[in-house]
Structure 1
Amino acid sequence: MNVTIKYAAGSDIGCNRENNEDSAYAGPRLIAVADGMGGYAGGEVASSTVIGSLRSLDAEALPVEELKDALGRAVAEANEKLRIAREERPDLSRMGTTLTAMLWNGTHVALAHIGDSRGYLLRDYELLQMTGDHTMDQLLKAESPHPEEQGGEPSRLSHVLYRVLDGRDDRDPDLQLREARVGDRYLLCSDGLSGVVDAQTIYEVLEAEAEPAGAVARLIELARAGGGPDNITCVVADLLDGDPASGGAPLLVGAAAQ
């Protein structure tokens, strides 16, 4: 069976930032979102470097058994490029970036994730968060012997990341190999969206908007309406019957498009 993805991507500076440190890519076999950090230039360099490095994966389909390893190697290569950039430019010593990326082969998809950008799956009228945030808040909750006693209020540690890509060693992402079904809708986004728009509203938008571009535009609009405290970036992709070669042109948004 031939399977293709129909995709859209968007990125907005938000309401309070002076520059956009997010980057994203969407193509026939690869979608990815990266949320950069580390100062005025550092975040832009980090996210655009990683997204630019991963683009080479958007080529011929790989065998299913190679998908996850290929994506893992590509993330390691991107992290190595950050290491080189940090050595060449001391002003970038604090830069880093999150990454959530998906690589398709027919009805299987590899997922790589590090940081607090997120990946969601809408399937059979249910919204599943496929990724876990690599924040200190979530780490402490996971290690607590009584997680049910954790308070419901957001913690000050909810934005403190303990795993990102920053050119240092031992920056391995979470890797998954998942079954993908025709009819699935996927959302990758930076925390500029997920930190402002709740999961129920995200679900309602993904269900209501027939086209990926409409869903992207509406989600960004809602994040801005909620104050837009950070850059807002998202990719929406639908899995459809069809020839992958019939997909549209690849899209770059955010810092990577500059």
Structure 2
Amino acid sequence: MAVVLEYAGKTDIGRVRKNNEDQFLIADLTKQLRIVQTSVSGSQFGEWTTNSTAHLLAVADGMGGTAGGEIASGLAIETLSWYVARTMPWFYRYQDGREEDLECELVKAVQACQETVAETAAGSHFRRMSTTLTIAYVLWPRVYVVHAGDSRCYLHRGGRLMQMTKDHTVAQRSLEQGIMTAEQARASVLNNTLWNCIGGGGEGVSPDVYHATLQPSDELLLCTDGLTRRLSDDAIGSILKRASTPEVAAGALVGAANEAGGEDNITVVVARLRAALQSAVTPPDGVAVLQAV
């Protein structure tokens, strides 16, 4: 089955901060063959490019003071893009039995981000700069999510918003260990303290990995905590349900978070799936056709 994936991203400084330390990424992954030279006379083939076969979505929330956080999140997104482009072309097809290999490579991509940020921090004035990183790799009909920090990935299906990732905060860990109640965890200053992220002067990163089988009409939301600390899951789900397009949804989510105070940078990536007939027409920007092969 072919599906159309519509997507949009938006980042906003908010109403309090002096600069934006968030970053996001939306990337189409394609296969391309370009003939440089051939002995075939009268050749009419010179270049083949497939439709998008996979998509890479990511958000990163930098920390470490003014320029430090912005540098860390930018480095993470750049390194992720480089790693996927350089080392993962063979993952552009869905293959049963190879999912563990794919997940391992995505974890290595996050670890490459850790190395880049740590090396840069060691030679700069921002030695403790750090960033969250939440990645969704869409390879129809599967999605693979790799995550470190307290940015989030949600799956919106049938009007229900489900959080796929777990916040790597000390408060969340205390909640899981029974040390705090949910109410205490939400109010605690430890809700702002991460035990797992990229950089920060730590020895390494321990990303979580999740996967799910997607359905037409599913929607993915990646966001930084500038959204989730201002809006409840019910409010987020309601906005997604009402929005006519991912672009409208992204704008509405950022606007609602700002109306609720806008105390932090706000970044969202919205990707919506729907069944589609095969078409030879090139899709417009913000839309891509995916097909399991």
Whether TM-score is above 0.5 comes out as yes
SS at match of 1:41: helix
Alignment of 1:144-183 (within 5 A): 144=178, 151=184, 154-166=187-199, 168-183=202-217
Change (3 A) 1:32 1:151: same
Residues 60-106 of structure 1 show CA distances to partners (whole Å, capped at 9, x for unaligned) of 514442331221111111111112212222x1201000111101111
Closer, same or farther in 2 for the Cα pair 1:209/1:78, shift >3 Å? same
Structure 2 residue matching 1:20: 3-state secondary structure: coil
Q: Which string of whole-angstrom CA distances, capped at 9 and with x for unpartnered residues, describes residues 112-164 of structure 1?
A: 1111111111101211011111111111111127x668647621211111111
* Closer/same/farther in 2, CA of residues 14 and 82 from structure 1, 3 Å limit: same
2:144 aligned partner: 110
Task: Supply the AA of the counterpart residue of 1:202.
Answer: I
Counterpart Cα distance in 1 of 2:181 and 2:261:
30
1:128 paired with 2:162, answer yes
- Alignment TM-score, normalising by the size of structure 2: 0.78
Whole-angstrom CA distance in 1 between matches of 2:112 and 2:184:
39
- 1:210 CA displacement: 1.6
1:134 alignment partner, SS class: coil
How far is 1:246 from its partner? 4.0
Deviation at 1:16, TM superposition (A): 0.6
What secondary structure is seen at the aligned counterpart in 1 of 2:264?
coil
Structure 2 stretches lacking a partner, 5+ long: 29-54, 288-293
Q: Which has the higher contact order (CA 8 A, sep 6+)?
A: 1
Any conservation in 2 of the 1:14–1:229 contact (CA below 8 Å)?
A: yes
Question: Contact (CA 8 Å) 2:171, 2:185: kept in 1 or not?
Answer: no
Question: In structure 2, how many angstroms separate the alpha carbons of the residues matched to 1:191 and 1:205?
Answer: 17
Residue 257 of structure 2 is aligned to residue 223 of structure 1:
yes
Give the aligned partner of residue 14 of structure 1.
14
8 A Cα contact 2:68 2:126, kept in partner: yes
Partner residue in 2 for 1:75: 110
Alignment correspondent of 2:37:
none
- Is 1:241 aligned to 2:275, yes or no? yes
Contact 1:3–1:107 at 8 Å: present in 2 too? no
Letter in 2 for 1:109: V
Aligned to 1:5: 5
Matched, 1:31 2:28: no
SS at match of 1:218: helix
Distance in 1 between residues matched to 2:93 and 2:119, nearest whole Å: 28
- 8 A contact 2:7–2:286 mirrored in 1: no
Match of 2:119 in 1: 84
Query: What do the CA deviations read for 1:206-231 (whole angstroms, capped 9, x no partner)?
Result: 00002000000001001111110000
Q: Which amino acid aligns with 2:188?
A: S
Letter in 1 for 2:2: N
- The corresponding residue for 1:55 is 81
Q: Normalization by structure 1: what TM-score?
A: 0.88
Residues 1:184 and 2:218 aligned together: yes
Q: Is the 8 A contact 1:118 1:189 kept in 2?
A: yes
Corresponding residue of 1:256: none
Q: Distance in 2 between matches of 1:170 and 1:46?
A: 15
Supply the distance in 2 between the matched residues of 1:104 and 1:249 (Cα, whole angstroms).
15
Give the aligned CA root-mean-square deviation in angstroms.
Answer: 2.3
**Offset from partner CA, 1:169-193 (integer Å, 9 cap, x none):** 3312101122111111011111101
